[in-house]
Every structure is written in C-alpha cells, then in structure tokens.
A and B are shown apart, each in its own frame.
Chain A
Amino acid sequence: MSASVHKLVRKDGKKAQNILAPLWFLLPALIMVAIFIYYPVLATANMSFKNYKLFDQSNIFYNGFENFRGIFKDLAFRRILQNTVLWVTVSLFFQFFIGFGLALYLKKKFKFSGLYQSIIFIPWALSGFLMGLVWKWIFDDNLGVLNDMMLKLGLIDTPVPWLSNANWAMAAVIIANIWYGVTFFVIMILAALQGVPNEILEAAELDGCGKAKTLLLVIIPYIRPTLILIVLLRIIWITNFPDIIFGMTSGGPNQQTHILSSWLVQKITYDQDWGSGSALGLLMLCVLFIFTVFYLLATRLEKDSEGN
C-alpha cells in the first residue's frame, strides 16, 4: 500500500515538474517582455491621465481624461485622422500590388536575377528617416530633381509645390512610403511563392489552367495565410511609421501632413507634452488592437466558411 502511494506521489511530482519545466525555460523571456513591453505600456497608460509637460515639471498632476479630450478637441485631429487612413490604405494598396508583381517577376530564373533581388531589397535596409531626407530634396519645390526633370520634359510650366502645399505634400510623403515599403512585400511574397510545390503547379497546367487561373485559383489560395499575415503586419507598421513624414515635412505645412504616429512624436519631442503623447499612444494601441482582433476573426470566419 505505502509503496504504491509513494509511487503515485513520485509520479505526480514528476508530472508537476514536467508541467513547470517549460515555464522555467520561458521565465527569462517573460521577464524581458514584462520589463520592455508591458511595463512601458502600463507606465504610458498611467502618464496619459496626467498633466505631464516637460516645460513645467513643477506642475505634474493627475488630470483625468483631459488629455484625451484635448486630442479630440484639437482642430488638427480630423485632418490627421483622415491623413492616417489615406496614408495606410493608399500606401498598402500600391505596396501590395507592386510588391506582388515584382515578386512574381523575380521568381522566374533569368540572368542576374540575384542581383536584381539584392537591388530591390536595398530600401528595406535603410533608415526611414534618412530616406525621408533624401526624398525631401527630390521633391524640393525649387531645387528638387523631380520638378527639374518635369520642367525639362515639358510636363509642367511652373514647379509643383510638392512640399509647400498640403495636398501635394501628402501625396509626396505617400509616394515615398510606397517606394520604401514595396520591398517588404517582395521579400515576403517571393518567399511564399517559392514554397508553392511544383507538383500543384504542374497539376494545374495538366488540368488546362492558364497563367491567370493558376495564379488566382492555385497560387493565391495556397499562400493566403502568408498574405493575410503580412497585410496585417504592414497595416500596423505603416500606421506606426512616422519616419518618412518627419524626414520630409515634419508634419507641415500647418500640421497638414501629420498622421497619428508622427503627431505623437511631435507631442513627445517638440511639444514636450508627455501626458497628451501618452494618451494618443494609448488610443492608437486600443484602435490597432481592436482592428487586429476583427481582422483575424473576419479572415478566420471566411476560412471556416470555405472549409464548410
């Protein structure tokens, strides 16, 4: 009797040990994530309810929802929200389709294809802010190479006010962002395309599928999970990507090219209003979280209905 009980205890103890073992291995990573991700998020949430301006550090106090109210009441908010939607949708649309096209092209074997791939991947290795500065000089109203070329080609009579007119400036920053982000789609879609088994493609060919049908009915469904994931990642990254805007316009003229994330950077670094900046950061986090949940649910539901 006692021997069997002892055996059970040992067995249970071992089982418990087995359950705890992965947790022990995960602990260092969990601690790091807690310190570098969750603590800053909590600190941001705390700060977002404070009047916390670095210009006057003797006057820091909890002010309830005042920072959130200030954001919604700001005259620039509506334009900034519109800009954010425009920035994400237009950039994503062009980045995705150009990236897809280039990935399909680069999948083919041709002379110097490796070299072409390397050249196309270069933008992704560069700093977004630095690229913003380069594009700033390309789009410069007076000295920019773009206006110069268009004038010389006779396409325009007077220089386009790329960076001094709000609408043109928004177009300019989006063009620069499209150029910058195409590479990501090329890398990811090319990797996914290379994972499509040749047998499926050969079977499609034997069944008489043309190139377009193979792409739409075989390749895209096969790489769909990758596409869903990279589109989601890009939406989050583009929303949180103020670098090019800061390099090119700093949100100007008259705050007309700000998106939510560049506005946040301005609040923190230039206005030194950490309370308002934190409130904006928290709002962005909530919006992106809700969007991600809905996006994943929608794509999963679609998949389930296809499965049924």
Chain B
Amino acid sequence: MIKQLATRKSIATVTVVALAISVLTMGTSSAADATWNCKPTKAKPVTVRLIEFFAGPARSPLLNAYARQFEAKNPNVKVEIISPSQADSAAKITQLLQAKNVDIVEPAGAIMGQAMSAKQLANIYPYFSKTKGWAGLTDYSKFQAELYGKKSTYMVPNGYYVKAAFVRPEPIAAGAPAVLAKIKKGTATWADILAAKSSNTATSAMYAMRGARASFTQAIFIIRAYNAPDLNSGGYWNKSTKTSMFNSAKSKDALDLMMKIWKEASPAASVAWGYPEMVQGFVDGTAHYLIQDNEVIQIVDEKYAPFDSGKWIMAQMPKGPTGYAAQDVSGGGWSVAQSSKCKNIATNFLDYITTDPQHSSFARAYGVGPVTKTAASDPFFKTGAWAIYDKIGKDPKELKLDGSDVAQVCYGEFFTQADKDMQAMYAGSLSTADALKQWATFWDTKCINPIK
C-alpha cells in the first residue's frame, strides 16, 4: 500500500515537473516568437530606438528624415534616433545594450566583439535575407553581413571606411619632389614618408601622426605593410610563423621607423592629436600628409579647398619593403539588439534604410563607401577624390582585410592597452621591443589564432 502510494506520488511529481517544464518552454518559445511578430496597433504603438556610433551633422539629420518617412509608411510605429557625441557613443551603446533599452545599435570597433560575446545581438538572417535590402547588397557586403557564420547576420553593413592618403602637393614638391612623384604613382613607401621630412618647415611637418585616442592604429598600418603579404584575412597573424604578426623581426623594423617618423617628420603637437586634430592639422597646413577614412573627403573639400582646385590630392597608403600595404575594409553597420521586443519592425527599418535611394543618399552625404549594388555603380563614387578607392580596389598589392580579427572578443582589451603603450613609447618610457613583446604575448595567449 505504502509502496503504491509512493509510486503514485513519484508519478505525480514527475508529471507536475514535466508539465511545468513544458509550460515554461512554451512560454519561452512563444515569447521569442513574439519579438519577431510584433503587430503595432493604435492601442499598442511600437517605438524602435536606434543609436548611432558615428553621429554627425552629415548623417544624423538624414537618418531622422528616414525615420519620419518610415513612420509615415508604417502607422503606429515611432522611430527614435539617438545621436550621442562620438566621444561618448561607445559607452552609451554599451549601457543601452546592458539596460536592454534599445532596438538597433551601430556596434563599431571593439563593441562588436564585446556585444557578440555577451550575446546581445540578434541573428536577423532568417528575416532579413527575404527583404529587398538584402537582395540589393553587393556580394562583399553580403560576405561582411555573414562574417559570423553562413546564414547568420548580426550586422548589416551601412558603409565602408577605406584608408587613403590626403596629400598637400605644394610643400612636398618644395622639399621632397622625388617622394611626391612616388606618392602620385602609388609606390611611396613608409621610408619615403620619413625621407620627406625635408619638406618640414618652421610651422608645418610632413606626417599627421595620431598621438591621442586610437594612436596604435598608426602602428598597425606600418606593421601590416612590413608583414604583408604574409598576413591572414583578418590581418593580425603572420601566415609564415603562424603566430601574431607582432612576433616578427619585420614588426620591430616597422615600429622603429614609425617612431622615427614621429620624432622627425611629424608636428610635435601631434602627440596630443586625435581624429579631429589630425584632420584640422591637414586642413590648416600643419601637416602635409594625412591617412584617414573616406568621410574626410567632404570635410577637407568644405574646410580647405574643393578637390578640383588641385591644392590637395588623394593617394594610396604607403607600402612596406616588399611593396605591399594592407588595411581593413570592413566598415560599420547596424545590428538588432537581442533584447528588442519588436525585432521584425527594427529589421524592417534596417531594410528601409539599406534600400536605395535611401542608402545611396546616405553614402553620398556622409561620404562612406556604398554597400548596395546600385549605389556602388554610381559614377559619383568613381570620380574626383573618390577615384582613389577604385584604384585601391584594383591594386592586388594593397591587401583588403575582412575585419575578422578586429571582431574578436580580445580586441577591446588590446585596443585600450595598445593605445596606452603607444603613448608611453612617444613619451620614451617604453621601448618598441617591449611594446611588441607585450602585444605578441597578448594576441598569442588571449585571442583565437585562426591559422594554427
């Protein structure tokens, strides 16, 4: 009797537990489905919150205009665009993702790896791949959209940032005409940049160095140029040694040369230069040679002189001893937050702004490389100052890296530490050998080696 009761009791317990699990599971799955099936009504309107990383006067008003158009086409939907200053945007995006209070983010730089590791971004492929926006993307944009795995889209590209040199030919012609000829041909090397210190004057110098935030990117340009073509597709690993590129002897030569360029061919004030100061330094003539992204074209065009004036020219980045250069061509993009309560509406808005003519106008106004097929065939992006990107695209000796190493979780920590190390090197309190040793150890121990 007791045994029977015990059996009945245990059956009842198992049944209750099983029921509870199934109810909980049903609850979870229906809740997950619900976020992809949001149906806004007058009684229950939907607000989609989007936060920009690169907010600015050239693009934020345009995004707001698209938001109003989207609202007009989708009753009971409101799109809120948050445009923090670029100095605060990384922290703001991180905070909103943590607070689960945002639908769309622009996870530039280290935020992407960080958000992916925290599982804060949604895979929108099943929904987005059926849209017009997806169909209109270039093949490379689709490749970028699936960087985290086939049929997985955690970021929809919104524009490419390609590095090129902005050059003032007049002072270089006066001080280093031979180097200017090489720059125009696209064969100038980093050693030539140092040699062009002969174009320095009392109030200006050859190279616009970056000494403040993101200063280590300067070191990465030259170290990659010295290690290429032995680089993996992400650009942080040497294919020959199968370890991080910072281990190679070439990296030491590269970094030593970088420090020479800083000491002898750059304005002393550039130790405190970040992005705006570098651009301003070129615009006001303090520096003759600036390596920056394509969106700077518009700034230089407006603040210094129109490109047609001939007062400035565009050139390819300097090359290393083997004649190669390498850079990330990954760009920025939009991601839907995993915590979004209306992922379908958020993705619909991404579809709207990724489709032309919206994207084409965005790329033109903001000055980023286009991600759609129609915008990419626009002659605007092949003429004038933009012609250089066509040249870069066709040059097999300028390697295009896919940004997969930058997307690694370890990158954020490396970014902040390497920046401090660069500044310590400028101040003379850290040697190039020690910095490289630290960086090599970091990548070899804390990051995933994709070529091992």
Contacts and interface: CB of A to CB of B under 8 A. Distances in A.
Interface in A29-88: 53-58
Contacts of B372: none
A142 B281 contact: yes
B25 interface: no
B420 to A, nearest CB: 7
B364 interface: no
Interface string A141-176: 111000000000000000001011010010000000
Contacts of A54: 94, 98, 114, 412
A161 B273 CA distance: 13
Interface string A265-308: 00011111000000000000000000000000000000000000
B213 A250 contact: yes
Contact of A161 (B203, B268, B280): B268
A252 interface: yes
A254 B114 contact: no
A141 B268 contact: yes
A164 B271 contact: yes
A254 B424 contact: yes
Contacts of B118: 57-58
Contact of A270 (B203, B416, B426): B416
B167 interface: no
A253 to B, nearest CB: 5
A166 B212 CA distance: 13
A58 B427 CA distance: 35
Contact of B427 (A53, A163, A253): A253
Contacts of A163: 269, 272
B287 to A, nearest CB: 10
Contacts of A143: 280, 284, 286
A140 to B, nearest CB: 7
A55 B91 contact: no
A253 B427 CA distance: 8
B409 interface: yes
A57 B412 CA distance: 12
B331 interface: no
Instruction: Summarize B's interface: helix, strand, loop or mixed.
Output: helix
B267 interface: yes
- Looking at A55, A169, A256, A270, the one whose CB has the most chain B CB atoms below 10 A away is A55
Contact of A53 (B91, B268, B286, B413): B413
A165 B413 CA distance: 27
Given A55-B409, A250-B274, A252-B211, A164 B113 contact: no
B284 A255 contact: no
A55 B114 CA distance: 5
Given A163-B269, A164-B268, A250 B212 contact: yes
B232 interface: no
Contacts of A177: none
A169 B423 CA distance: 15
A183 interface: no
B225 interface: no
A252 B281 contact: no
A55 B112 CA distance: 9
B423 A55 contact: no
B420 A55 contact: no
Contacts of A169: 272
Interface in B405-444: 409-410, 412-413, 416, 420, 423-424, 426-427, 429
B13 interface: no
Interface in A173-190: none
Interface string A238-260: 00000000000110111110000
B121 to A, nearest CB: 12
B88 interface: yes
Contacts of B423: 252-255
A225 B413 CA distance: 49
Contacts of A255: 420, 423
B114 to A, nearest CB: 5
B254 interface: no
B267 A272 contact: no
B126 to A, nearest CB: 25
B90 interface: yes
Interface string B255-273: 0000000000001111110
B212 A55 contact: no
A271 B416 contact: yes
A253 B271 contact: yes
Contacts of B7: none
Given A55-B412, A58-B118, A253-B423, A140 B212 contact: no
B90 A269 contact: yes
Nearest to B270: A164
A161 B110 CA distance: 32
A272 B94 contact: yes
Given A252-B212, A255-B420, A57 B269 contact: no
Contacts of A249: 272
B89 to A, nearest CB: 10
A212 to B, nearest CB: 45
Contacts of A272: 90-91, 94, 110, 114, 412, 416
Contacts of A142: 203, 267, 269, 281, 284, 286
A57 B272 contact: no
Given A54-B114, A56-B114, A164-B271, A254 B91 contact: no
Contacts of B420: 254-255
Contacts of B117: 56-58
Contacts of B272: 141, 163-164, 169, 249, 252-253
Contacts of A270: 90-91, 213, 416
Ranked 6 nearest A-B pairs via Cβ = A55-B412, A141-B269, A57-B118, A254-B427, A254-B423, A269-B91
Interface of B: 88, 90-91, 94, 98, 110, 113-114, 117-118, 203, 211-213, 267-272, 274, 280-281, 284, 286, 409-410, 412-413, 416, 420, 423-424, 426-427, 429
Given A252-B271, A254-B429, A272-B110, 13 more contacts: A54-B94, A54-B114, A56-B412, A57-B114, A57-B117, A58-B118, A250-B212, A252-B211, A252-B423, A254-B420, A254-B423, A256-B427, A272-B90
15 contacts: A54-B94, A55-B113, A55-B114, A55-B409, A55-B412, A55-B413, A56-B117, A58-B117, A142-B269, A164-B271, A250-B213, A252-B272, A255-B423, A272-B94, A272-B114
